[in-house]
Amino acid sequence: MLQENLRNVAIIAHVDHGKTTLVDKLLRATDAFRANQQVEDRILDSNDQERERGITILAKNISIEYKGVKINVIDTPGHADFGGEVERVLRMADSALLLVDAFEGPMPQTRFVLRHAIDAGLAIMIVVNKIDRPGARPEEVVNDSLDLMMDLGATDEQLEFAMEHVVYASAVNGFARLDPADDNDNMYPLLDMIVDCLPAPDCDPDGPLAMQCVTVDHSSYVGRIGIGRVYSGTIHVGEQILVVKNDGSRAMACAKQLFTFDYLGRTECQEIKAGDIGAVVGIDHTDIGDVYTDPANPVELDPIEIDPPTLAVVFEASTSPLVGREGDIVGGRQLKERLMREAENNVTMRIEELGDKTGIEVAGRGILHLSVLMEAMRREGFEFQVGRPRVLFKEDEHGHRLEPVELAVVETPNEYSGKVIEVFGDAGGTMTNMQSGETHTHLEFKIPTRGIMGLKNRILNVTHGEGIFYHTFSEYGPYAGELGQRNNGAMISMATEKAVAYALGTLQERGTMFVGPGDECYEGMLVGERSKPGDMVVNVARTKSLGNQRSSTADIAVQLTPPRTFSLEEALEYIMDDELVEITPKSIRMRKRILDTIERKKDNVRRGRVNKLN
């Protein structure tokens, strides 16, 4: 039975193609705010990191009402590192708006999220955004999107639907049009097409209860909150329900509170009917994939499978000489408790304590996925250290080693394309596609995840900052052998003192500095990068010897180049196996695992690295 008063719509797109901005305008067009209400842009990006990075990290549910129809809108992350969110929340939708930039067209993450939408059998409507952007080519982008759907195995019905339902929009300026040449200045054409053309949920409100939890929220007052869609039947407050786990185990529970989504918030209700999306309170230890069903007539639903993590990093309590100066929480026990709490709420990460109790291993979908957790923890006042990210290998049925392989795409000015191909060749990449335009070249590569680490900076360097680089997990492929590591050695501080301008002035002739005058340094800390291979121990606190003769003012002045600063992701990609990143609320420092110079030399001799490292 079709629930004509409901529409469940997911918005899918590549990073920065305007999903969250479009949702803003839909909320405004349906009078979600009071006339005088002050509302920030990108209101769904409520997380501080989402606003700062300009990306959506967590899938969000809202609902709007238009022409008597409730439209549940699901804003999904566009970045592949948060693909676990995308895979799950698409189960709540019957249709999807594929948002594509009118200039860039389909990009790597477009392929990633679109593949999941096609596999879920959703009806897909193409929304070409940013049609007012200089260089926009909306008609070509529609054709490119249809070609991509064909490549990803879309059915004839999905292709025909997408071909007939295309909207041209500018989310920033708040208009949607059925033809780019129209002069319409509001969002109603898009809302009309959603209500009139997208399918309503087809379900039986009088059948046995079947609801699947696809997202877990957490409250310090009521514990875990299961969020999902009711596929059949109706769930009532106080009702005894059967909870079926992914592993087949069963338990009885009581639905103590129910909520449905209402514009930007949740509204408590007495029941949630089939086809609607809601939240259930009272299911102890509920998890992703749990099915809430009728005990007398249980319904089976497919378990939720999530792509496995590809990278792991070990979190340890900080052993830095500066520990405790910038953060309030430095103990190993608190670090473990915080990460185990994360394990309860974040199903896309695998978090386990090491066997020797020296640290906690956190496995995720990529560097960004892991760094978002680290950034959240440092903002909470934690000080800790992490090692180099480690790729998670697999074995096939014949015992052959497999490793994660990424699809990488680079858009570069034509004159730099040769350099880009050379950089990928050094990192173990294989070119799969090359398209040359009048000014830019489009390059596609298959490259091991190990080779991706540190690659972005090299691409930006060889393209003089004009290259655009994206990558997304593709598959597990054959082990590619040893790959080249960092070519240049590090400058390592020999003492725990503040850096001095005079010492930095002489050292910057030997390479690039990471610290400036007055910065706190300690023995074993990385303070710069040499222009040659091999590490070098340096004194950043050396001052000029003063004699009894006068010196000119020109001799006193030191011209210093600004130090190179690292983001969290860049630091994780930069370090080697014997190095760590120290993370505090105010600083990101890189250091050797063994701080003492003599002990480090002894360890290098034991490991046979004496010719490479000091």
CB 169 within 8 A of CB 176: yes
Most confident of 11-15, 454-458, 561-565: 561-565
How many degrees, rounded to 5, is the angle at CA 519 between CA 514 and CA 521? 80
CATH architecture of the region 210-293? Beta Barrel (2.40)
Question: Quick check: 306 pLDDT over 80?
Answer: no
Task: Give the per-residue pLDDT at 563.
Answer: 92
When pLDDT is averaged across residues 86-104 and rounded to a whole number, the result is 85
When pLDDT is averaged across residues 224-236 and rounded to a whole number, the result is 87
Binding-site residues from annotation for GTP: 16-21, 129-132
Confidence of residue 224 (pLDDT cuts 50, 70, 90): confident
Cα–Cα separations (whole angstroms), residue 210 to 102, 216, 235, 248, 337: 40, 17, 9, 15, 34
Strand arrangement of the beta sheet that strand 511-513 belongs to: 511-513, 526-530, 490-493, 536-538
Cα–Cα separations (whole angstroms), residue 307 to 49, 246, 341, 373, 470: 24, 15, 22, 19, 19
Helix extents (H) in 477-607? 501-507, 553-556, 568-574, 597-607
Question: Quick check: 527 pLDDT over 90?
Answer: yes
As a whole-number percent, the residues of the chain with pLDDT over 90 amount to 22
538: left (phi over 0), alpha (psi -120 to 50) or beta: beta
Question: Quick check: 79 pLDDT over 60?
Answer: no
Question: Quick check: 78 pLDDT over 70?
Answer: no
Question: Quick check: 322 pLDDT over 50?
Answer: yes
Confidence of residue 549 (pLDDT cuts 50, 70, 90): low
Question: Quick check: 297 pLDDT over 70?
Answer: yes
As a whole-number percent, the residues of the chain with pLDDT over 70 amount to 88
Looking at every residue in the chain, the average pLDDT score rounds to 82
Lowest-pLDDT range, 58-62, 183-187, 408-412, 562-566?
A: 58-62
Domain boundaries, the chain: 6-197, 210-293, 394-478, 489-545+554-607
Question: Quick check: 36 pLDDT over 70?
Answer: no
CATH of 394-478, one of 3.40.50.300, 3.30.70.240, 1.10.10.10, 3.20.20.20: 3.30.70.240
Confidence of residue 589 (pLDDT cuts 50, 70, 90): very high
Which is more confidently placed, 65 or 553? 65
When pLDDT is averaged across residues 406-412 and rounded to a whole number, the result is 85
What's the whole-model pTM score? 0.70
| DSSP symbol at 454 | T
CATH of 489-545+554-607, one of 1.10.3720.10, 2.40.50.250, 2.40.50.140, 3.30.43.10: 2.40.50.250
Task: Give the per-residue pLDDT at 54.
Answer: 40
CATH architecture of the region 6-197? 3-Layer(aba) Sandwich (3.40)
Strands 166-170 and 123-129: parallel
Task: Give the per-residue pLDDT at 483.
Answer: 73
Task: Give the per-residue pLDDT at 77.
Answer: 64
2/225 Cα distance (integer angstroms): 28
Question: pLDDT tens for residues 418-450?
Answer: 999 998 988 888 999 888 877 888 888 999 988
164/123 Cα distance (integer angstroms): 11
For 270-299, b/e burial (b = at least 16 CB within 10 A) is: ebbbbbbbbbbbbbeebbbbbbbbbeeeeb
Lowest-pLDDT range, 32-41, 143-152, 296-305?
A: 32-41
- Residue identified by tokens 């994939």 is 289
**Rg over CA atoms, the chain:** 27
Binding-site residues from annotation: 16-21, 129-132
Task: Give the per-residue pLDDT at 180.
Answer: 85
When pLDDT is averaged across residues 240-254 and rounded to a whole number, the result is 86
Lowest-pLDDT range, 219-223, 438-442, 473-477?
A: 219-223
Same fold, 394-478 and 489-545+554-607: no
